[in-house]
Amino acid sequence: MTKRTKIFIGSLLMLASYHVQAQDLHFSQYFNAPLLVNPANTGFNPDFDYRVGGNYRNQWSTVSNNPYKTMSVWADAQLFNNKFEDAWVGVGGALLQDVAGAGNLKSTKGFASIAYHQLLGFRSLLSGGFNIGFTQKTIDINKLTFNSQWNGKFFDATVPANEPFAYSSSYYFTLQAGVNYAYFANDNLYLNAGVSMSNINRPRESFFAQSNNDDRLEIRYTAFGNASLKVNDLWILNPNIYVSKMGNATEVVFGMMVQRDLSADKNGSLQFIAGGYYRKNDAVIPTVGFDIRNTKFTFSYDATFSTFKSYNQTRGAYELSVVKSGLYSSGEKSIKCPTVKF
């Protein structure tokens, strides 16, 4: 295998490895995929008993016939609300799949999470959680071509690639843990921040036979902060920020959403959502949506402004999410902590 090939394949697999693990946090709408960001978010939805959500992302379709497609479904629920006077337990889980590239690189992940939420007085809430996940990554090696197969005019798939692939699939378990802190300053202001670590066990991931190379995944560190500010009976502002670091790769996304109550009797049953985000050195992300009777539909679009815009004409990705929140039974829910709402 030539030096050029080694560099190409090594870079490809490192990128793929990063993408598989990062993909559970790669949604631009990270705020609509709370379990994927931090397991301490499991069951953290004070106004409701449960949530069910779905996310879809299509990326780089303008530069590839096989664009990155990421899909996830997730759900969480509160337990033991009646058992604890000032606490509750959250349980949840998620499934995630990513498909990309000519080699049908496919990543499938499922995890189960649990969190404990403890009130600290009436205005503070401390949450801690962890999850256990299983990841499988597969690739169709026969659909890949390498520079050793270039005959001067085209890639000849009949020529042996002579690459040291040992497996067409890789699987491993992951551990993630995190904490959140929420402060309910008053009826009009809410603050929340959290940190988490994933790949705590540093599993191995490789399509090659085990060698002296370090093929263990790096620990991924994630932090977020958000706020809700009720301006009046019609408007709520939601600024937030997300930071993630894995090895030498760092992602920073920040911005703000605004909610406008459109319901006739001003009870929040119909809300318009709009805003925008900025991914550092990569893209701007306009976002729009509606919340209709506690079912939220959100659409966002990544407009690339980095050097990659020369290849994708600034068309980076589009993303859709649906999140449904509900109660176990009809009637009012007993809220243990204040919330900012219409």
Percent residues over pLDDT 90 in the chain: 52
> Are the CB atoms for 107 and 20 separated by under 8 Å?
yes
Q: Tell me: the pLDDT tens digits for 103-159?
A: 677 889 999 999 999 999 888 999 999 999 999 988 776 666 666 667 677 666 666
pTM: 0.81
Spatial distance between the Cα atoms of 61 and 140, rounded to a whole number of angstroms? 20
What does the block give as tokens for 305?
């402004």
Question: CA-CA distance, 126 to 87, in Å (whole number)?
Answer: 10
Task: Work out the average pLDDT over 69-88.
Answer: 91
CA-CA distance, 123 to 66, in Å (whole number)?
49
Most confident of the ranges 1-15, 82-96, 134-148, 294-308? 82-96
Q: Which of 31-45, 82-96, 256-270 has the lowest mean pLDDT?
A: 256-270
What are the percentages of helix, strand and coil residues in the chain, rounded to 5? 15, 50, 35
Where b means 16+ CB within 10 Å and e means fewer, 197-222 reads: ebbeeebebbbbeeeeeebebbebeb
63 forms beta bridges with none
Give the closest residue to 326 by CA, choosing from 83, 45, 118, 32.
45
Region 190-208: what's the mean pLDDT?
A: 90
Q: In the structure, what pLDDT confidence band is assigned to residue 307 with cuts at 50, 70 and 90?
A: low
Q: Just give the CATH number of 3-326.
A: 2.40.160.40
Q: How far is CA 324 from the centre of its chain?
A: 17
pLDDT at 7 over 50: no
